[in-house]
Amino acid sequence: MASTFNSIAQITAEKETWKIRVRCERVWFKFMRSQPDVRTAMEICVLDEEGDKIQAIIPKWRISKLENIIKEGSFYVLENFEILPNNDEYAPTKHPYVLKFHECTSVRPSGIVNIPRYIFNFVNFSDLASNADYSLRVFDVIAEVYGMDELVKYDRDGRQMMRIKAHLRNL
């Protein structure tokens, strides 16, 4: 019997019984500011066959079970997760919701599916200055690096950090 999968575009907060087949595009961890070696969550960005993306949050208590299973570029079937509004300060997708894994969430490896490794969200330089939404979202640009500022050291929550500003121009 063939399995029926939902698309990421169909996901709403109306139910939690979604079943999606996805490719993991990115994996990253969130850390405590006061204790930078303490992970608070594992987060992933997944995409489906239609090219839609959604972010998923794996709470601290589930990281040890899933960090060796979920890998960038691999395919999975995900089922039974909580649906939350996508109102995080850092929102890597445009989807209005994020997935939150819980104790009943199923993560099963899937065979190779026709899902690209990456989907890009290119933005024109002229749109960046005129649209405040771009300061809150992740996007892609094709640009030339024409300059770099000096390395700047600064203090954040008692920790010494460094940053460098790159200057880009449209190609």
Set out the domains of the chain in order of their start, with CATH numbers. Answer: 8-109 (2.40.50.140), 125-170 (no CATH)
Could you report the per-residue pLDDT of 54-63, keeping only the tens digit for each? Answer: 999 999 999 9
How much is the average pLDDT of 97-106? 95
On average, the pLDDT of the chain sits at 88
Could you report the per-residue pLDDT of 142-156, keeping only the tens digit for each? Answer: 888 999 999 999 887
Pull the structure tokens for residue 165.
């500003």
Could you report the per-residue pLDDT of 28-43, keeping only the tens digit for each? Answer: 999 887 887 889 999 9
Give me the pLDDT at residue 98, please. 96
95 Cβ partners below 8 Å, 6+ apart?
Answer: 8, 11, 52, 53, 54, 55, 86
